[in-house]
A and B are shown apart, each in its own frame.
Chain A
Amino acid sequence: MESLIGLLVGFPLLGAAVLLCGGKRVDRTGHWLGVLLAGASFVVGAVLFLDMLGKNADERALHQHLFSWVPVESFQADVAFQLDQLSMTFVLLITGVGTLIHIYSVGYMEHDERRRRFFGYLNLFLAAMLLLVLADNYLLLYVGWEGVGLASYLLIGFWQHKPSAAVAAKKAFIVNRVGDAGLAIAIFLMFTTFGSFAFAPVLSNATEAGEGKLTAIGLMLLLAACGKSAQVPLQSWLGDAMEGPTPVSALIHAATMVTAGVYLITRSGAIFNAAPDAQTVVVVVGAVTLLYGAIVGCAKDDIKKALAGSTMSQIGYMVLAAGLGPIGYAFAIMHLVTHGFFKAGLFLGAGSVMHGMNDEVDMRRYGGLRKYMPVTFVTFGLGYLAIIGFPGLSGFFSKDQIIEAAFAKGGTQGWILGAVTLLGAAITAYYMTRVMLLTFFGEERWRQKTPSADAPSAEPAAEVHGEHGGPHPHESPRSMTIPMIVLAFGSVFAGGLFKVGDSFVHWLEPVTQFEHGHPPVSAAVVTGATVVTMLVGVGAAWLQYGRRPVPVVAPRGSLLTRAARRDLLQDDINHAVLVKPGEYLTRGLVYVDSKVVDGLVNGTAASFGGLSGRTRRLQNGFVRSYAVSMFGGAAVLVAATLLMRAV
């Protein structure tokens, strides 16, 4: 069974190699090859999963040692895989959701002439992400980590002819680099502290190292997680990443990329458990991001950007849960999985809506679409109910658990975190209801002519609808709807499935440990509060967008709204805090370089040049001038002789 682990990574990697190196020969069948290999990877994952289920909890972890990568004395870097329950969860999520997104992309990217390349990148993305979750040491994890960064760069900037996409890709890559630096430093620290960077020695010896070092490692890991998972302060790339094709957004937000940070924190749980300060920072980051993403999500009119804000917020939940320690890890992962289902479904639904609406992304130009795209409406609606935590759907269970765990943190911290998570739930309900109402209910605003408003066309027209270019909403092809339906099933049932008998918690317990958190009030009260806040959020949204007509052109809004539309000024802050001082530093250095360093060098050269120029004048070519020198020399000689005699 161990030997199959390599295939998990190998299949999509093979797909990427064939699709990217194959050239035009694989143009016609390439996308199906990509789907096939992603599916094959999922099948292998499922086989391994079934095999794993048949074993005792303690014997489930599998190891596969492929080869020694860098065998140097005490520096042993191996290419080796570790498949335990945590990795298994991720493998199934990545390959499962990934495969669905592959299938969806077949329809979505049908008319893109670079579709083969797109599938190559998708496969590369899967392979990198699988490498990340399967690695048995941090160095190999880093390889996958960078691979994910590369693939996300390629996919976000897939429509590179658009300057905005190229810039967004660059932004994502650069912001991620900051996090990558954190991971690299964390690995350095691990090596100096533990003499190894394999999971087993590092995590089992974590308690033996000094707390200061562990805190440093933990903070560096958190920095890495912030980069990949778009947590404050490295969140700025996520919104812009919507420039990529919608399946890419789904893939980034649901199955790959942003989950990597949560995986990293959960995987390194032993380190964080021993470094409470680092844990506190993790929790704070999670809480801040939770509210941040939610507020941003409320203000965006771009459906994808609203969903992006939502992702940020949901990942904030997960990071917060992961920061809670053993009482939260399992719930973080659980929420991650359920979120993977409903967020993928929501994004694919959004893509479907855009597909049907002539690539319009502004929700204010939607409205009343439920009649025209019933499948999308139903699947999107189920995803919506799941994400707001409607009782009985998967989001309800996972989020409720996190809120409970937040309260269970204890003390003032517990109350604050609980309040924040509850508030987050309310806001989530508000903005998701807003998305729902704007898109599928209300009047059909897309019929209104608004020549003044500029339509930010995020994607080139995949299909031209109608002769006059006006949108003619229609349901998407089967290849797009089937994945949505499957994901909708996941959105509805996954949470409940995990909750039954706490199966998910028990499943993960050998890896992440589990302590039952005890909230200061009974679980039922917390659940009730969650439901109530959710209903409040829904009601508020309905009051604002359901009852009243929605203007096609966004009103100016309050100060907060305007700030939120600008992503709460994240770019302005980055610009002011990082870019400007950097520019000033660079200008200063350039000035020092050009004036002082170059000035010194050039000055020396110029002084020699000037001296030579003046000396050169002596060589005027006139014999008589030379004769003067001769006679002067003779006079000096005579004078010297006389002087010598006199002395």
Chain B
Amino acid sequence: MSPVNYVYLAALLFTIGAAGVLIRRNAIVVFMCIELMLNAANLTLIAFSRIHGNLDGQIMAFFVMVVAAAEVVVGLAIIVMMYRSRHSASVDDASLMKL
């Protein structure tokens, strides 16, 4: 088996996550789907790292994790704020940019 299979798997997971972002309305679930996409990207990086035989890919994945953690913290804070003001976690409710 070639490690490229990991990349295929990552592509699949990424696509599923993307579809989830598009389909789900609950902001938290959307957020989780984004995490799924990030993880899929991480898997790609790690597989590449192995294929190329150096650790740069792993370090990239590490940074992605850190940034994802920061993003989760801020994102969830925003969701909590949103819920406080609108009593709803639906992304469709926050459609004030509509003309």
Contacts and interface: CB of A to CB of B under 8 A. Distances in A.
Interface of A: 616, 619-624, 627-628, 631
B99 A616 contact: yes
Interface centre among A616, A624, A628 (most CB of B within 10 A): A624
A180 to B, nearest CB: 59
A631 B18 contact: yes
B86 interface: no
B84 interface: no
A621 B98 CA distance: 4
B21 interface: yes
A143 B36 CA distance: 93
A624 B99 contact: no
Contacts, number: 31
Given A621-B97, A624-B25, A631-B18, 13 more contacts: A616-B99, A619-B99, A620-B95, A621-B96, A621-B98, A621-B99, A622-B95, A622-B98, A623-B91, A623-B95, A624-B21, A624-B22, A624-B91
A635 to B, nearest CB: 9
A622 B93 CA distance: 8
Contacts of B92: 622-624
Contacts of B99: 616, 619, 621
Contact of A619 (B18, B22, B91, B97): B97
B94 interface: yes
Interface of B: 18, 21-23, 25, 91-92, 94-99
B96 to A, nearest CB: 6
Nearest to A613: B99
A93 to B, nearest CB: 80
Contacts of A616: 99
B51 to A, nearest CB: 19
Nearest to A619: B99
Contact of B94 (A619, A620, A623, A628): A623
10 contacts: A619-B97, A621-B96, A621-B97, A622-B95, A622-B98, A623-B91, A624-B22, A624-B91, A627-B22, A631-B22
B7 to A, nearest CB: 14
Nearest to B91: A623
B21 A627 contact: yes
Contacts of B18: 631
A285 to B, nearest CB: 72
Contacts of A627: 21-22
Contacts of A631: 18, 21-22
A638 to B, nearest CB: 11
A619 B98 contact: yes
A316 B72 CA distance: 106
A171 B54 CA distance: 102
A40 to B, nearest CB: 80
B25 to A, nearest CB: 7
Contacts of B22: 624, 627-628, 631
A623 B30 CA distance: 11
Contacts of A621: 95-99
B89 to A, nearest CB: 12
A627 B34 CA distance: 12
Contact of B91 (A620, A622, A628): A622
Contacts of A622: 91-92, 95, 98
Contacts of B25: 624
A620 B25 CA distance: 15
A622 B99 CA distance: 11
Most chain B beta-carbon contacts within 10 A, residue among A616, A619, A627 = A627
Nearest to A623: B91
B10 to A, nearest CB: 14
A616 B98 CA distance: 9
A627 B91 CA distance: 11
Contacts of A620: 95, 98
Contacts of A624: 21-23, 25, 91-92
A601 B42 CA distance: 57
A622 B30 CA distance: 13
A632 to B, nearest CB: 10
A619 B97 CA distance: 8
Nearest to A628: B22
**3 interchain residue pairs of minimum CB distance:** A621-B98, A621-B95, A621-B97
Contacts of B21: 624, 627, 631
Contacts of B94: 623
Contacts of B98: 619-622
Nearest to A635: B18
Contacts of B95: 620-623
A645 B96 CA distance: 42
Nearest to B97: A621
Nearest to B15: A631
Nearest to A632: B22
Nearest to B27: A623
Contacts of A628: 22
B8 to A, nearest CB: 15
A218 B97 CA distance: 77
A405 to B, nearest CB: 87
B92 to A, nearest CB: 5
Nearest to B25: A624
A284 B96 CA distance: 84
A624 B95 CA distance: 10
A621 B93 CA distance: 9
A622 B23 CA distance: 12
B16 to A, nearest CB: 13
A127 B18 CA distance: 94
A619 B98 CA distance: 6
A331 to B, nearest CB: 86
Nearest to B18: A631
B15 to A, nearest CB: 10
A347 B47 CA distance: 119
B13 to A, nearest CB: 15
A628 B97 CA distance: 16
Nearest to B21: A627
A621 to B, nearest CB: 3
A621 B25 CA distance: 14
Nearest to B92: A622
